[in-house]
Amino acid sequence: MTWRGMRTGADLLPYRADGEGRAEIRAQPLHADGGRPMDPEIVALAGTAGTTLVTLMATEAWQGVREGVVGLWRRARPERADAVSDELEAAREDLLAARDAADDETEDELRRDWQGRIRRLLAARPDVADDLRALLAEVAPEAPPAAPVITQHATASGSARVYQAGRDQHIHER
């Protein structure tokens, strides 16, 4: 079986079929040429950027975010910058209407749409990834500190019992 590219919405995903109706699909998007997988870091950056963008559409920070994203497109694809500006405004209107109607699906669709658009931009122009990271650092709220990692190991033999807990544990043996 050989891998081929399959377009699913905004992405080109690799797949292979065995001729008997069974197919295997990889979750990692391919470059637009269909030949090689995209850098996972770029995929993750696009995912974060698309989610952050849509989340901030409904905030006071929106105008600055919109200007930053349009500026990014202006540097990478100047012929698309005005259209992207209009598309961002239309997406914001859709998001606000969806939130008024308690329509979570539209918000998810917008998130996936902008993740795909940004992923395609980064695939075509990886040199703008640092500009995007700088924009995200400027507009994204601070992430809460990560919780400490706790690792527990135990060994039991014979009829021994091991009780482990990350916090409160109450044991009532009879």
DSSP assignments along 39-81, one per residue: PHHHHHHHHHHHHHHHHHTTSTTHHHHHHHHHHHHHHH-GGGH
Contact at 8 Å (CB) between 38 and 119?
yes
The amino acid at residue 39 is D
- Please write the tens of the pLDDT for every residue from 81-98: 999 999 999 999 999 999
Band (pLDDT 50/70/90 cuts) for residue 5 is very low
Its pTM stands at 0.62
Q: Percent of the chain, pLDDT > 70?
A: 71
pLDDT at 170 over 50: yes
49-66 residues labelled b (16+ CB within 10 A) or e (exposed): bbebbbbbbeeebbeebb
Q: Hey, what's the torsion of the CAs at 25, 31, 33, 35, to 10 degrees?
A: -60
- Please write the tens of the pLDDT for every residue from 22-44: 555 444 454 545 555 567 888 88
Predicted pLDDT of residue 44: 87
- Please write the tens of the pLDDT for every residue from 146-162: 556 666 777 777 777 77
